[in-house]
Structure 1
């Protein structure tokens, strides 16, 4: 998981990385001119793909057997061609490209691919993506260039799972993968090598001049971790960064500023309120129905998001082939429906205007990460809408460490979403088998209908059957309302005019170090 963590202000160091400060040293000036500095809110917990770094590709440090192009279509990565699938869908075969080496010069072989996938399946390794590969029966290497995956059942989106970065077996064999130095000083095959990582500060990447996909167009990339949205915007305005991820309103402030371009990038990234089933208020379906009717998504998108988004009613984006239109709701608030739901559920209006039932006031806390200005504004908007129908919400900005201890009982403004297969996030978020496992289904939502639908979405190979399964899943979520879905975001970035090569593509929720507008930064140049 990528956390929004506190960032140390390192303006001087980053300025030195971004521009030349020594007019007498032409070599230093040339190097700085070929360095790009980008700023993001989130910092990864690890740089090891086995432990969940860059699992969907675009890591800048590693490559998978497959990759994604500007349209998110699968293309060959380390594999010479897209892997082949047997007629029964249970055998997938990949052939490696010739002559690929890791950053330390050691050759890539099929044994490295086998090791990577087997490490994820190893119960001694604390890999949160193990369940992503539950369909994998075995992975073998009949020769140095060939990898054969044998599946327990025909898992339709398996090729998409092969975007996972491959690690060198020699660097991790015989070590405790969970604590290995490799997790912070990794060796990959990607366009950049890790030069240094200062936690809470920055990640410095140096070009891999022998990259099989072509030598990067620049010498170095510095990824600055700046958790606070306002600080990140101030430093962007001060010229410290070539590009920065900003909240919509902060990004809009650059629309009229010369020298910058504002990019509003389509995404499958949604924001919503996770409503714990064990909370005496949010655990009541009548309250959840009332909240779903009371929130004014149209106003949120026009106000909080500055138009950079669209209403959300579930975890499958409307652009997905699996989207179920019948699960969509109304974007505007419906106070009449909200009031009716509370009345029917036995929540009577109190003297202070707040509803109550059996001595329990319709009041609960809504947590959000304190440094995330967008989630704060969304939390305040939900709070205001809820109060209009007699539900009292106390918004509370906290650190992630503080949130960790309360997510089973208190509501949380969360974000998830993927433009890829719906199995990739929904299975963990809504299947009862993940109830209470950290940020996977933290509200302990349980539904036999949803469990079956999500499992069918994994187990069935027929596209029509999978579509029917995800339709059932979305309809049941719209009935149970374990989340109050609010909006799908357009990710907003500010990029200096001098940058050439920006190529936005539809983004997932996690879009920080690499899976963002700078996913192709190895091709960026200065105009």
Structure 2
């Protein structure tokens, strides 16, 4: 079945509405229960050998039992557990915890001390084996032979094999929603390009060399489910088990779904068969708490270990003895998509003027207390190939140059322009006020229009816009992919402004079919130069990924999807 871009955006909108409203869905049909996880057999005890009498030592006090239940408060529970229909933060966070991926991320401490995936700067070179233990590539870089890790077991007790990889890829083509987009990134043309060699070897053929392939194969939409269980849940009318996967799933990751009550809580239990070793936390309780102040209070009182979706002000109010803020600035960006098809901003000189006028440094200091970065080139500075030398606009603003450009464009007296803001995204109201203040210095009257998430997305995609304030991140850390998603009018799901530059799109497409080297560097520089000249979006700030953590929760690692991988965490 085919789904339109509008439906994908509607799914995203629904997830955001759920996050803000947190409505119960008690009447939701429950799917057929999956098989219970297989018990893990205790090994036979070794025969005891006589030992020498030890010298008497003073008795050590008994260590207190460690609480191995992790409690997480979120604005809303997942909309779905099916990676084909998973648009929201909570859905992705649970799916990546339950489904292990073919490749995983190398991680090292960053400059700020936070352990982070190196993929942000290294690209595919920052990927390490996951369920794929090793691989070979043909001389023409078009055929990949994946050697799967043997002995990997799901919580249901089924071994991971080539059939699980084949079935999940077939599902991507069969359901063809997010999966169709992901296999497109991977450049896998059809299931004819997927060959099962034996139980632990799969061969994949791609259409052109692909600098993103290992990262595409890491994405949760391709991450294998336990196909033995999924096939049992499938029916003639639902061959891909979409009904079951709405509220349940079974993978080869560190946890499995034990209970899911929409609008109330979701409980995960540890997979005692997990190939990396059993997780520290035996149970994770995800609670839906729509009110952010209540989530903050529960964290302060020690009733939850992690509070998500808190604003800057709420996190800054957290006392040193009440919890700690985990905060990293990596790949999240806030930009203002300008209407390039009509109104004053259809003129590139006007768009340049607005960028010159914008004081991003003030937003960093006033809204984020320094815990953000001024944005250039609409992209994180850590991306491979990022070239700040191509960006002429000062981050502290230059009103004189901006006024001169407006006069050249015929707007010496300024103009009025609406700024659309998503009411359900933390801090954006404050960011919008400072954008308005910056542009008022050159005679541009910004009218802030704040709407709930669903209405915001409908308006943003209507074409009837001035500037759309948006925050997002690319799950693949590449400038061409990032621009394809957020800037290009013809290809971008979230570009909004209608920017259409044929050479920009052609250079992006070419760069995504060339492996790293001088040719690719030239292409990546070319698309950045076009963006700097045309300024389809205001580059505002690089925003932080932040959580409120209990004082005893350790082990957080940042990943490009900006979600917590709970396997990393422990209690000190």
1:107 aligned residue: 159
Q: What SS is found at the alignment partner of 1:262?
A: strand
Whether contact under 8 Å (1:268, 1:488) holds in the other structure is yes
Distance 1:259 1:153, change over 3 A: same
1:168 and 2:218 aligned: no
- Render the CA deviation track for 1:494-524: whole Å, top value 9, x for unaligned: 221122x32333x43x42xxx23xx2x2243
Shift of 1:55: 8.0
Q: How many residues align?
A: 483
Give the aligned partner of residue 335 of structure 1. 399
Equivalent residues of 1:430, 1:446 under 8 A apart: no
Give the aligned partner of residue 524 of structure 2: 470
CA contact (8 A) 1:434 1:440 kept: no
Aligned residue number for residue 277 of structure 1 = 340
1:70 to 88, 91, 107: 107
Q: Does 1:491 pair with 2:545?
A: yes
Equivalent-residue separation in structure 2 for 1:261 and 1:280 (angstroms): 46
Contact 1:229 1:372 in 2 (8 A): no
Measure, in 2, the Cα distance between the counterparts of 1:79 and 1:443. 40
What are the residue-to-residue correspondences of 1:325-404 with 2, within 5 Å? 325-328=388-391, 329-349=393-413, 355=414, 362-404=415-457
Aligned to 1:20: none
* Structure 2 residue aligned with 1:27: none
1:85 counterpart = 2:137? yes
Q: Report the 3-state secondary structure (helix = DSSP H, G, I; strand = E; otherwise coil) of the residue aligned with 1:33.
A: coil
Distance 2:99 2:547 in 1: 24
Q: Deviations over 1:304-331 (max 9, x none)?
A: 1110011111243212231012233311
Q: Does 2:130 match 1:61?
A: no
Find out whether 1:156 has 2:211 as its counterpart: yes
Partner of 1:503: 556
Task: Find out whether 1:524 has 2:569 as its counterpart.
Answer: yes
Contact 1:289–1:338, Cα closer than 8 Å, also in 2: yes
- d(CA) in 2 for partners of 1:423, 1:231: 41
Counterpart Cα distance in 1 of 2:383 and 2:76 = 26
Contact 2:104 2:127 in 1 (8 A): yes
- Point out the more displaced range, 443-452 or 244-253: 244-253
Compute the displacement of 1:110 (Å).
0.7
Cα shift at 1:143: 1.1
Give the superposition deviation at 1:179. Answer: 4.4
| Residue pair 2:423, 2:451 contacting (<8 A) in 1 also | yes
- Matched position secondary structure for 2:171: helix
Aligned mates of 2:419, 2:303 — CA distance in 1: 35
Residue among 416, 423, 443 paired with 2:472: 416
1:525 Cα deviation after fit: 3.0
Pick the aligned partner of 1:428 from 476, 485, 488: 485
The aligned residue for residue 49 of structure 1 is 83
Select between 104-113 and 31-40 the one with higher mean Cα deviation: 31-40
Q: CA deviation at 1:466?
A: 1.7
**Match of residue 358 from structure 1:** none
- Which residue pairs with 1:210 in the alignment? 273
The secondary structure found in structure 1 opposite 2:202 is: strand
Aligned to 1:139: 194
Comparing 148-157 and 392-401, the one that deviates more: 392-401
8 Å contact from structure 2 (residues 376, 388) kept in 1: no
The TM-score with structure 2 as length reference comes to 0.77
Which deviations, in whole Å up to 9, do the C-alpha atoms of 1:129-153 show, x marking residues without a partner?
Answer: 3432335451221111111110111
Instruction: Sort the Cα spacing of 1:374 and 1:260 in 2 relative to 1 into closer, same or farther, 3 A.
Output: same
Deviates more, 1:417-426 or 1:149-158: 417-426
Alignment of 1:221-260 (within 5 A): 221-226=284-289, 229-245=292-308, 246-254=310-318, 256-260=319-323
Residues in 2 aligned to 1:433 and 1:447: alpha-carbon distance in whole angstroms: 9
Q: How does 1:194-209 map to 2 (within 5 A)?
A: 194-209=257-272
1:264 pairs with 2:327: yes
Q: Is the 8 A contact 1:229 1:371 kept in 2?
A: no
CA contact (8 A) 1:370 1:398 kept: yes
Q: Against the structure 1 CA distance between its residues 234 and 375, is the aligned structure 2 distance closer, same or farther, given a 3 Å change threshold?
A: farther
Q: Separation in 1 of the partners of 2:408 and 2:390?
A: 22
Partner of 2:8: none
Cα distance, 1:496–1:80 mapped onto 2, change above 3 Å:
same
Q: Per the alignment, in what secondary structure is the counterpart of residue 406 of structure 1?
A: helix
User: Offset of 1:423 from its aligned partner?
Assistant: 4.3
Are the counterparts in 1 of residues 480 and 527 from structure 2 also a CA contact under 8 Å? no
Q: Is the Cα–Cα contact under 8 Å of residues 341 and 499 in structure 2 kept in the other structure?
A: no
Task: Give the TM-score taking structure 1 as reference length.
Answer: 0.83
